[in-house]
Structure 1
Amino acid sequence: MGDQFEKFIIDNREAFDDATPSENAWNAIDQKLGKKRSIWPNMWKVAAVLFMVSTVYLMVEKATTNDEEPLLSEEFTQAEDYYVGLISLRRKEIKAQLTPEEHEQFLVEIDQLDSMYEELKRTYQTNASNDRVMDAMISNLQLRLEILNKQLDILQNIKNQNNENDISIEI
């Protein structure tokens, strides 16, 4: 019997395809589905929006973290600030005691060390969390400060000698 029924449907398919259910039938189906269907489409919309927002957030965060330079440790940052402050102070002291031409000649080594320090910073950015590079950066800062201190001592000695010569000439 199942085969006859199937054969009947296949033979008369065109007669079944042109018939459409009445408007009342669709309204009844909509009312039954309406209660159940109203929750899920809204949930899917909320889930889709949350997915899109989180995806955009993660993409933006990843793009900004890749562009930033590697984070230096708090200890290193404090040491760098300390040395940079002292170096700046020593440079001002030297500049106050010299003419512009003498100042340029006197600070040639410091300028070379400045450029080396910038190179070390670029190296650190490409080799993040390399302790040897960080140690070299600190050593560079210490060396610059030491050179500036020695230069100030030399200037002070010259000034003292000039003062002694002035005193001996006055007597």
Structure 2
Amino acid sequence: MSSRLEEFIRNHKEEFDDKETSDKVWANISKGLEKDKKAPVPMWNWTWRVAAVFFFLTSSWFAVEKVMQYKETGGNEVAVSEEYKEFVEADHYYTTLISQKKQEIEDFRLANSDLEEEFLQDVEKLDSMYMDLKKELKSFQYNEKLMDAVIRNLQLRVEILNQQISLLQRIRQKKAQEETVSI
């Protein structure tokens, strides 16, 4: 059927081409376009446009905020739980305490640098274990057992630092006694 239609159009092409629109039709079309340009836009039309822009901006803001929150938590909803908040508080407490203890040890400034070096090696081993546990904690999406292991590591570091400080205090006392005896 389509081949007969094509053949008919080819045969009667001149009959189709003789019909053109008059200039009057084109003049009416251009008048209508000019009238549309000059016509005031109703207030409700502007209201809908403003509402659409507001909705788009608000939606975009919420979407960006959700993506940022997802990146901060590592894609894990457990990260905002009470357990995680407690973990973060404990982690902050112990890391602050550890830095204070390290500073206290550095303040002793012993003549026996071998002893200080040995102290630092013990703490450095625990520091590296702590960093490894923190990496695992992020990759395993804040597993409760890993959080406990991190806290236990921090507690061990505090205990070791306390023992080192105690030992340093005893050494200091012994040196002070030796100096008083020799005087």
TM-score by length of 2: 0.63
Give distance in 2, aligned partners of 1:130 and 1:141. 17
Residue of 45, 66, 80 corresponding to 2:91: 80
Match of 1:94 in 2: 105
RMSD: 4.1
Q: Look up the SS of the partner of 1:128 in the other structure.
A: coil
Taking structure 1 as reference, are residues 14 and 24 closer, same or farther at Cα in structure 2, changes over 3 Å only?
same
Per the TM alignment, residue 165 of structure 1 is displaced from its structure 2 partner at its CA by 2.9
Match of 2:129 in 1: 116
For 1:19, the aligned partner's letter is K
Q: Calculate percent identity across the aligned residue pairs.
A: 34
Q: Give 5+ residue unaligned stretches, structure 2.
A: 1-7, 42-47
Deviations 1:31-63 (CA, angstroms, capped at 9, x unpaired):
28x85xx98xxx99xx7xx87xx78x958974x
Q: Give 5+ residue unaligned stretches, structure 1.
A: 1-8
TM-score by length of 1: 0.67
Taking structure 1 as reference, are residues 159 and 25 closer, same or farther at Cα in structure 2, changes over 3 Å only?
same
Q: Look up the SS of the partner of 2:21 in the other structure.
A: coil
For 1:127-166, what aligned pairs fall within 5 Å after superposition?
Answer: 127-166=140-179
Deviations 1:89-145 (CA, angstroms, capped at 9, x unpaired):
111111121355542222211100100111111111211131111111111111101
Give distance in 1, aligned partners of 2:63 and 2:87. 30
